[in-house]
């Protein structure tokens, strides 16, 4: 599940992204929540947007022809706050992991049919479940869960028989986001989390802390990306104090730090040289070479949280952002023809 910078062989100038198109108006956004929607690049070449709605439905939307595909109504009893896409290499399934933080419930769906193949309920009684991830290890699938309840509970690992197979003791943090990483070179799985003041990585097989990535602050870290650059796996993370840090994932050493007077929510890496960052009511473009903000995307948005990129076969590189009013597509074309149904 390595995050790659959004790249093509053609246009590489992030400054070309400037025209907004409101494509989704019924999506649910929960501020400071990771992955309130997901862009799914399928094995057959299709690119789907999957998001939750205000009435607790999950909808898949084809980003190639801008048409709604499937909907499962009342997918959860309470608001769906997290949508994740994974590929199940064992069964060759395109999967969606959905979370309702308010009732601590996780569901796994087969994307094309929206058939629910796993449901975990009341994972942390009396608490809020903010994030979770999917891992395949030694021929078995697992769900890894985080907590957000007075730092009482550790990370838990469930198998698909709904059994807790292990817990990680050194993980009782207020986790805002977690995800998995499979490192091909070492053939090892890792769990990554971000919390107040730091990120952590855990060796899944050994069930113990791998590294703690901490610099000098003690504020909320909301987002991170994993990216391989110059043969180094980098952990790129953002914080509410206005700092973006680049860490060597395997050594735990700080590579680079950019400090700006902003409160970063989610970030999107672009062409190795830029980052689009959601900052309250706008999106700002950061030039990583000089560490400066060089552009602002503002469409009278409110509480922008999520920002993600994808490559459209006709329109090239595009950006998706989300606020309380819906999901917006940003493109470099000012005459984009959308076929919305």
Tell me the pLDDT tens digit for each residue of 243-268. Answer: 999 999 999 999 999 999 888 888 99
3-state SS record for 34-66 = CCCEEEEECCCCCEEEEEEECCCCEEEEECCCC
- Residue-wise pLDDT tens digits, 182-200: 999 999 999 999 988 899 9
- Residue-wise pLDDT tens digits, 265-323: 889 999 888 999 988 788 999 999 999 999 999 877 677 878 999 999 888 899 999 88
Q: From residue 296, give the alpha-carbon distance in Å to each of 261, 277, 281, 292.
A: 14, 10, 10, 12
pTM more than 0.75: yes
- Residue-wise pLDDT tens digits, 105-146: 999 999 999 999 999 998 877 667 889 999 999 999 999 998
Q: What's the rounded mean pLDDT across residues 149-164? A: 86
Name the more confident of 229 and 83.
Answer: 83
- Residue-wise pLDDT tens digits, 61-104: 999 999 999 999 999 999 998 999 999 999 999 999 999 988 88
- Residues in contact with 216: Cβ distance below 8 Å, sequence separation at least 6, in sequence order: none
Of 107, 156, 102, 158, the C-alpha closest to 130 is: 102
Q: 12: pLDDT confidence band, cut at 50, 70 and 90?
A: low
Can you tell me the distance from the alpha carbon of 215 to that of 327, in angstroms, rounded to the nearest whole number? 34
- What pLDDT score does 67 carry? 94
- Other CB atoms within 10 A of residue 169 CB: 11
- Asked if residue 235 lies in contact with residue 193, where contact means CB atoms within 8 angstroms, the answer is no
Can you tell me the distance from the alpha carbon of 179 to that of 191, in angstroms, rounded to the nearest whole number? 6
- What pLDDT score does 151 carry? 67
- What pLDDT score does 44 carry? 92
- What pLDDT score does 2 carry? 42
- Residue-wise pLDDT tens digits, 23-46: 999 898 765 567 889 999 999 999
Q: What's the rounded mean pLDDT across residues 168-176? A: 82
User: For residue 219, is pLDDT > 80?
Assistant: yes
User: For residue 178, is pLDDT > 50?
Assistant: yes
Can you tell me the distance from the alpha carbon of 175 to that of 76, in angstroms, rounded to the nearest whole number? 22
- What pLDDT score does 32 carry? 56
- What pLDDT score does 1 carry? 43
Q: 329: pLDDT confidence band, cut at 50, 70 and 90?
A: very high
- What pLDDT score does 154 carry? 85
């Amino acid at each position: 599940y390595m995050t790659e910078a959004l790249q093509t062989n053609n246009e590489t100038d992030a400054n070309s992204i400037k025209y907004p198109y409101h494509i989704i108006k019924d999506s649910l956004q929960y501020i400071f929540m990771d992955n309130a929607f997901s862009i799914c690049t399928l094995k057959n070449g299709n690119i789907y947007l999957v998001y939750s709605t205000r009435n607790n439905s999950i909808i898949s939307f084809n980003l190639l022809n801008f048409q709604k595909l499937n909907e499962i109504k009342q997918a959860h009893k309470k608001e769906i706050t997290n949508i994740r896409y994974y590929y199940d290499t064992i069964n060759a399934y395109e999967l969606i992991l959905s979370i309702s933080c308010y009732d601590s419930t996780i569901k796994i769906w087969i994307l094309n049919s929206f058939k629910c193949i796993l449901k975990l309920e009341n994972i942390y009684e009396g608490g809020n479940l903010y994030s979770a991830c999917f891992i395949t290890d030694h021929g078995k699938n697992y769900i890894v869960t985080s907590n957000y309840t007075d730092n009482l509970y550790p990370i838990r690992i469930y198998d698909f028989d709904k059994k807790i197979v292990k817990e990680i003791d050194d993980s009782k943090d207020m986790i805002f986001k977690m995800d998995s990483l499979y490192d091909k070179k070492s053939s090892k799985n890792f769990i990554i989390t971000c919390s107040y003041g730091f990120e952590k990585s855990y060796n899944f097989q050994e069930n113990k802390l791998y590294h703690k990535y901490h610099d000098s602050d003690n504020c909320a870290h909301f987002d991170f990306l994993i990216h391989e650059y110059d043969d180094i796996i980098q952990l790129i993370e953002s914080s509410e104090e206005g700092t973006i840090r680049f860490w060597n994932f395997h050594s735990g050493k700080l590579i680079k730090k950019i400090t700006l007077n902003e409160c970063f929510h989610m970030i999107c890496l672009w062409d190795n040289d830029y980052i689009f960052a959601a900052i309250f009511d706008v999106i700002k473009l950061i030039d990583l070479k000089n560490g400066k903000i060089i552009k602002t995307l503002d469409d009278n948005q409110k509480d922008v949280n999520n920002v993600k990129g994808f490559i459209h076969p006709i329109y090239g590189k595009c950006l998706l952002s989300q606020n309380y009013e819906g999901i917006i597509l940003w493109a470099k074309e000012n005459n984009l023809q959308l076929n919305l149904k």
